[in-house]
Structure 1
């Protein structure tokens, strides 16, 4: 009996050790310490000590479970806090992203509005006949305050001219009376005289600016003659637009066209003679600066060339006088309603040339 009891106790002790090992493997450092105490107690071999050991293990086992739950709860709570922080960070990042996107959209909208405004201003300037040239041409056209002042004055004149033409078109469309229509027509003709006066002042300040037509659009410059339109070509255009005309009107317009052509030919020949004389004067001074003794001769020839250039202003003034007289004569030959149609046709022709320039500048480049 005494020998069998230790066996039974040993078997029980082995089961207890297995349980202890299982508990230890699933818990923390406290179980390692508890197991060490258990081994020391079992080593004593006492039945009473074994009972105490079982009781101790049960107590530690339940305590370990409770401890594990506490650790698990703390771990879960830590993970929840991390998740909440991550969600909060994601929400903040999403909010900042929405703000950046909103600011970007507002910037795009502001840029689009500015671009639209610039396009409208550019179109308005082109309609007024102010051509924005390249850097080289712009520096040429802005070389003097006189040229710049003329460009501004011409823009104002053209704006007022368009207003008068629109008023004239409205009167024709509404079949206004002859008296009312005559007042509007006389106002448009008188307004043309203002541009000739403005051009005369500009030619005194910068004759090359007026002669080159830098205040016109590119398409208009192709048809310029001495800083303006050819009277004879204008009359050819109007004859086809004013039909039917009486025989007396046709004869008068034919004579006016012939006299205008003769005056234009005379002015063109005078310009050719001036260019030839100017070229000969400049060529005669070539090489004269190589010697100090020829400096006086060189300066004299350049002074002669400057004097000949001064006659350009006279050519422009005579050409504008011819244009002004042609408009006045045409106004006297035609009836009030025919004059209204003629002035509208002249304006539409110039407007189409300006529109052609805008289309040319906006064409796609390959």
Structure 2
């Protein structure tokens, strides 16, 4: 018998298990209001014993079983509640987007280009904040190992969110094509890699292949590589078309300058400038085709990958652009001699 005031080894183990279970319960109660996936020492504790189990050991086993219940049963329930909250927030976001799109459509007919550009910049900043919330939900869901059906809702929500951005860019392109083309609504490092008002689809697929989305099947690898090749070909065609447009526009402006010196200078000048305006309107078409290529690349990527792979792929792509924005911030705040 142990001396008075000294606990036996079994009683000590029981006290440790009870304290751990209480801690797990406390963490679990607070988990629903945070973005942290709860882990507990209880998930690595073995509570079986081949020897004769005393009353205290049986009690300890019961506490351990309750801990497993917290982690394996109630925790997914918390995830389900969080997903339901996310779906409601997404519904409200879609309603807000419809109002904003209607407002931007109205602005196109009455507002100046500067005002439309400002409205787009503000909406893009809000879109980016919401995008980060989507990414946080994906990280939590992958860490909690939720089912594919619930994970598919989150992935589809991200895809819908990207489609909203392409619609917004379409409106902004119609209002002020050069504002979208310049990329002043993006960070400096993002503008450095920008192509026709956005990212290159082929480069995004390179990031995806190097971003630990494995395991990919041979068929999936073939699909991704084929998609990358077709995206590269489409990008080359659009780039060549844009270069040809720039050359044609330069030639037209040069002809307009020469026409201004003739006897019918004003008439010839105005005619050449009208031709230049028509060529300039083609820039909008190039930007729309580039955005369509980006949108189709994301959609094809989603079809090739499984739901869980697509979730990881979206996180990889988002992290890449986050690092570009972080690089921009570091560059802008660098010490200068």
TM-score bracket, shorter-length normalisation? 0.5 to 0.7
- The reply on whether 1:184 has 2:154 as its aligned counterpart is yes
Q: Give the 5 Å matches for 1:80-229.
A: 144-229=114-199
Which residue matches 1:338?
Answer: 309
Which residue matches 1:256?
Answer: 227
Cα distance in structure 2, aligned partners of 1:171 and 1:266? 40
Cα distance in structure 1, aligned partners of 2:218 and 2:258? 63
1:290 shift after superposition:
4.3
1:287 shift after superposition:
4.2
SS for the counterpart of 1:144 is helix
Q: Give the 5 Å matches for 1:9-48.
A: none
1:324 shift after superposition:
0.5
Which residue matches 2:66?
Answer: none
Structure exhibiting the larger radius of gyration computed from Cα positions: 1
Q: How many residues are matched?
A: 225
1:289 shift after superposition:
3.2
- The reply on whether 1:243 has 2:210 as its aligned counterpart is no
Q: 1:311 aligns with which of 255, 278, 282?
A: 282
Compute the RMSD of aligned alpha carbons: 1.3
SS for the counterpart of 1:286 is helix
Q: 2:252 aligns with which of 276, 281, 286?
A: 281
SS for the counterpart of 2:196 is coil
Give ranges in structure 1 of 5+ residues lacking alignment: 1-141
Moved more, 233-242 or 204-213: 233-242
Q: Under a length normalisation based on structure 2, what TM-score does the superposition of the two structures give?
A: 0.65
Q: Under a length normalisation based on structure 1, what TM-score does the superposition of the two structures give?
A: 0.60
SS for the counterpart of 2:210 is helix
Indicate the structure with greater helix content.
Answer: 1
Which residue matches 1:363?
Answer: 334
1:292 shift after superposition:
6.0
Could you list the per-position Cα deviations for residues 92-151 of structure 1 after superposition, in whole angstroms to 9, with x for gaps in the alignment? xxxxxxxxxxxxxxxxxxxxxxxxxxxxxxxxxxxxxxxxxxxxxxxxxx9611111110
1:236 shift after superposition:
1.1
1:271 shift after superposition:
0.3
Cα distance in structure 2, aligned partners of 1:155 and 1:270? 31
Structure 2 vs 1, CA of residues 262 and 159 (structure 1 numbering), >3 Å: closer, same or farther?
A: same
Cα distance in structure 2, aligned partners of 1:321 and 1:341? 23
Give ranges in structure 2 of 5+ residues lacking alignment: 1-111
1:288 shift after superposition:
3.5
Q: 1:300 aligns with which of 256, 271, 276?
A: 271
SS for the counterpart of 1:353 is helix
Cα distance in structure 2, aligned partners of 1:160 and 1:243? 27
SS for the counterpart of 2:181 is helix
Which residue matches 2:318?
Answer: 347
1:152 shift after superposition:
1.1
